Amino acid sequence: MIKTPPVASDDGASTQVPSQNGGTDEDLTPLELRAEEELVLPVVEETAHIEKRLREKGRVRVSTQTETIEKVLRESLHGNTVGVSRLPIDRVIKEGEPVPQTRTEGSVTIIPILEEVLVVEKRLILKEEVHIRETSTNEDVEVPVTLRKQRAVIERIGPEGAEPTTPTEETDHDPDDHSPVR
């Protein structure tokens, strides 16, 4: 037997309209529709969203301490000294003879000193030569110096400003060492 749901007609009387599966409205499943009805099903999708928040877990205080260290540095110093000696020559330079020039003989530089003297005739006289002798010396010296050395002291502090703990890390840092401090 086919059951039909009642449908109102123009004259006010109700009639039974069979459903697709042959039953009445009471026999319809949620997805079955009558021919004149339209079913709208919302399509829903869930999404997930992750939020990040900064949370203070602790603090760190870094300070530096400078120490002075007395050291004696040793180094060899190299220096040159010169000795000057004058040798009287008093020799007349004859006419046409070349004028003596500055010259070097071994480690000695010789500079001729010339003088013109007035006589009945004018003559060029080699008055003297200046000999400059260079000698090298090495001297070991010790110079006291004060060196500074810095040390980083790191204190860990609780998240809510709790009392700082004792220093947990100390690092020595040589100022001439340009590698990163750990």
pLDDT truncated to tens, each residue of the chain (182 aa)?
Answer: 444 445 444 555 444 444 445 555 555 555 565 667 777 788 888 888 889 888 888 888 888 989 999 999 999 998 988 899 999 998 888 888 999 999 999 989 999 999 988 767 777 889 999 898 888 888 988 989 998 988 888 888 877 756 655 555 555 555 555 555 44
Output the pLDDT for position 55. Answer: 85
Q: Are 88 and 117 in a shared domain?
A: yes
Output the pLDDT for position 3. Answer: 46
Q: Are 91 and 123 in a shared domain?
A: yes
Cβ burial 19-42 (10 Å sphere, 16+ → b, else e): beeebeeeebeeeeebeeeeeeee
Q: Are 83 and 119 in a shared domain?
A: yes
Residue 162 located in a structural domain: yes
Query: How many Å apart are CA 153 and CA 55, to the nearest integer?
Result: 25
Residue 119 located in a structural domain: yes
Q: Are 93 and 132 in a shared domain?
A: yes
Q: Are 103 and 131 in a shared domain?
A: yes
The tally of domains found in the chain comes to 3
Domain housing 159: 59-74+141-173
Q: Are 102 and 114 in a shared domain?
A: yes
Beta-sheet pairing, 169-173 with 103-105: unpaired
Query: How many Å apart are CA 156 and CA 60, to the nearest integer?
Result: 4
Q: Are 69 and 109 in a shared domain?
A: no
Residue 9 located in a structural domain: yes
Query: How many Å apart are CA 173 and CA 167, to the nearest integer?
Result: 17
